[in-house]
Amino acid sequence: MSNANSSPSITVITVVYNGADLIEETIKSVISQTYPLEYIIVDGESKDGTIDIIKRYEKQISIWKSEKDNGIYDAMNKGVDMASGDWICFLNCGDVFSDENTVAAVAENITANNQPDIIYGDIFTKNADGSLRLKPAKEPCNLHRMYFCHQASFSKRRLHQTFPFDIRHKLSADLKFFKECFFNNCRFVHMPLPVVIYDTNGISNTNREAGLRDNIAVIKSVDKHFSKYLFLARLYFVIYWRRLNRKN
């Protein structure tokens, strides 16, 4: 176990299902990190060659398993159960760290900031021509949506054990997790450094309205007082506006 004066122990978890076109790039990004870490892959019984690619690198993977699950958040919970690191990062299939020194930089920030509960950074997204665009994260706050990219965050493992992902939410269980941490006075720290190159083809981006409705369900169950009704009004308006634009 790490303490304030030791190097943070970090586990990176990748969950995947039928990701043969993307998984190798993610694996290479993790195993090339200069900082020692635990790497766990949880596969949902892929049928497209993903498992063959994982086996190709299994000597450099700490733990991997392939079995049926009840969705992405169930797989993420399984990863937490297998993890031994004090800190957890979920790097989804298709996402990569910004460079080989990223995790080392995060570890330095964890120590420099006196072991916060959750630390997160900025991201790069890809433009149509393949160039990268920096997208800074917001400072710690409570919003109707994620104010940072989940893949660019590192959370203490004990928080995932206390607030496991609610698998009733298919798209927004991570939002619920971070809101529960926020409302339980966990300390969030923003690092002004790019952590990942984010794959914008992920499930929450390709199922936008379903994601908005799942955010609504999370806010109804977690938020309180004035902010709850403000956030709900915003989300319902966004759904209405998207539908109106589709008709036009």
Q: Among candidates 122, 88, 77, which has minimal Cα distance to 2?
A: 88
Residue 235 lies in a domain: no
Q: Among candidates 41, 33, 36, which has minimal Cα distance to 10?
A: 36
Residue 4 lies in a domain: no
pLDDT one-digit tens code per residue, 64-121: 999 999 999 999 999 999 999 999 999 999 999 999 999 999 999 999 999 999 999 9
Bigger pLDDT: 218 vs 234: 218
pLDDT at 2: 46
Q: The CATH number of the domain where 99 resides is what?
A: 3.90.550.10
* Structural domain range at position 172: 10-200
Residue 231 lies in a domain: no
**Read out DSSP for the chain?**
---TTSPPPEEEEEEESS-TTTHHHHHHHHHT-SS--EEEEEE---SSSHHHHHHHTGGG-SEEEE---SSHHHHHHHHHHH--SSEEEE--TT-EESSTTHHHHHHHHHHHTT--SEEEEEEEEE-TTS-EEEEPPPPS---SS-SS-GGGEEEEHHHHHHS---TT-SS-HHHHHHHHHHHTTPPEEEEEEEEEE--TTSHHHHSHHHHHHHHHHHHHHH--HHHHHHHHHHHHHHHHHHHHHHH-
Residue 227 lies in a domain: no
Residue 103 lies in a domain: yes
How far is 241 from 187, CA to CA, in rounded Å?
35
> What is the pTM (predicted TM-score) of this model?
0.90
Predicted confidence band at 4 (pLDDT cuts at 50, 70, 90)? Answer: very low
Residue 247 lies in a domain: no
Bigger pLDDT: 145 vs 59: 59
Structurally, the chain folds into a number of domains equal to 1
Residue 38 lies in a domain: yes
Residue 46 lies in a domain: yes
Predicted confidence band at 195 (pLDDT cuts at 50, 70, 90)? Answer: very high
pLDDT one-digit tens code per residue, 19-71: 999 999 999 999 999 999 999 999 999 999 999 999 999 999 999 999 999 99
